[in-house]
Amino acid sequence: MLPRRVLVGAVAAALGSGASAPGAVVGFAASTAARVQELLDAEPASVSGDGAAWDGAADALPLRAFARIITSELIGPGGARAQSISEFFDPQRLEQPNPEEFGLEVAAFANLASAAYVVTGEGVERRVLLFTSPGSNPDLPAEIRFDADGTAKLESRVYLSGAVLIWSLNAEADLTGVSADVQVTIRAEGQAASVFDAGLTLTGGEAARVQVQVDQPIQFELGGVELLSADMDTDSGETLPAGLEDVGTVVVVLIPPQEHAYQYTVTADEPLTLAAEFALEVRNAPGGTGVAAVLGRPFDSLANFIETALPQVDGEGVQGALNKANADRAVDSPAADDPSTAGGRSPTRGQALCGLFGTELALGLAAFGVLHASRSRRPA
């Protein structure tokens, strides 16, 4: 399992009493990282890594880190390759309340007896928040109310969505050594405890068995091809993406769009940094197993990867069915003031499978007149 990672923040509402005060996002920074470690006969071999950083300058975006290793260029049988993509888009250019500013996508497959991979993708964002004393600027709107000691407890929200796909050429395959790990943590710097922790770890075993360990509050659904079959176009007469029924083992984990609340404390006139980092790690096993995972956006590169590893399978169909299955399972909303609700809260259907930040940016920047109406979509 990866170490705890730090992920997203959003100022949604203030809890407390006393004089009111305005606040703003006064600083941004972000970084992305992608890494592929090749294993030959279980020993570390080649490494591919990439990274990018952003200091707040809009003209430096988007960030994209990409790493790939191709051990064997053969298509299908004999092929072995892995890749990692980590993306970050301008959080100041919104086209919806929950922008797709972060996206991680990783994949690995090897049909060689000697090759396997460890693939990671990471993203970090830091937002500096400042809430000023009452009356310091009469032109700014009131947003929170401080207690007598000059502090206030705020409630914020984090948006999560993602998916994991595991496959093997063999029926009842031994998936020992195959794993996928999602980690999300939010910290308010200077405060001892993290304000939000969530994680999901998928571990393979014998006879195509998998075990899922979840650190609340992530909600998920585990199954096989049946999770995809219900989402095919029934007019076509197909019940599964073409060729998928011939793959020996298929395991699907959906992390449908969901929203979770958390709380932290701010002090008047003192900047607070919300440090956020999220991470994916997947491991495949030699001899015909593959694993892919995505966090923060829909699968975008899985189709080509699938068609290279499994040329008999309709990669576009698999990618589309996964993305639709996730979007259709948005998690029901909890009470707005209950940060302990494990069930999560779903964005609107139009926001399904979107990025990870939202409310804080919409509140802080809109109040100061620097909210952009839209931003460019990333290329398909």
Q: Whole-model pTM?
A: 0.80
* 3 within a domain of the structure (yes/no): no
Return the pLDDT at 295. 94
pLDDT at 221: 94
Tens digit of each residue's pLDDT (9 = 90 or more) over 100-133:
578 999 999 999 999 999 999 999 888 898 888 7
Residue 298 lies in a domain: yes
Domain range for 151: 13-367
**Low pLDDT (below 70) residues in the chain:** 1-23, 58, 76, 92-100, 135-143, 230-239, 332-380
Question: How many folded domains does the chain comprise?
Answer: 1
Peptide bond into 286 cis (omega under 30): no
Whether residue 375 is contained in a domain is answered as no
Number of Cβ within 10 Å of residue 2's Cβ equals 14
Q: Would you give the distance in Å from CA 216 to the centre of its chain?
A: 16
258 in any annotated domain: yes
Pair of tokens at residue 52: 């990018």
Residue 157: the pLDDT is 84
Residue 377 lies in a domain: no
pLDDT of residue 2: 30
In a domain, 378, yes or no: no
Note whether residue 372 is domain-resident.
no
Hey, how many other C-beta atoms are within 10 angstroms of the C-beta on 193? 8
Any domain includes 201: yes
**Residue 19 in tokens:** 């004089």
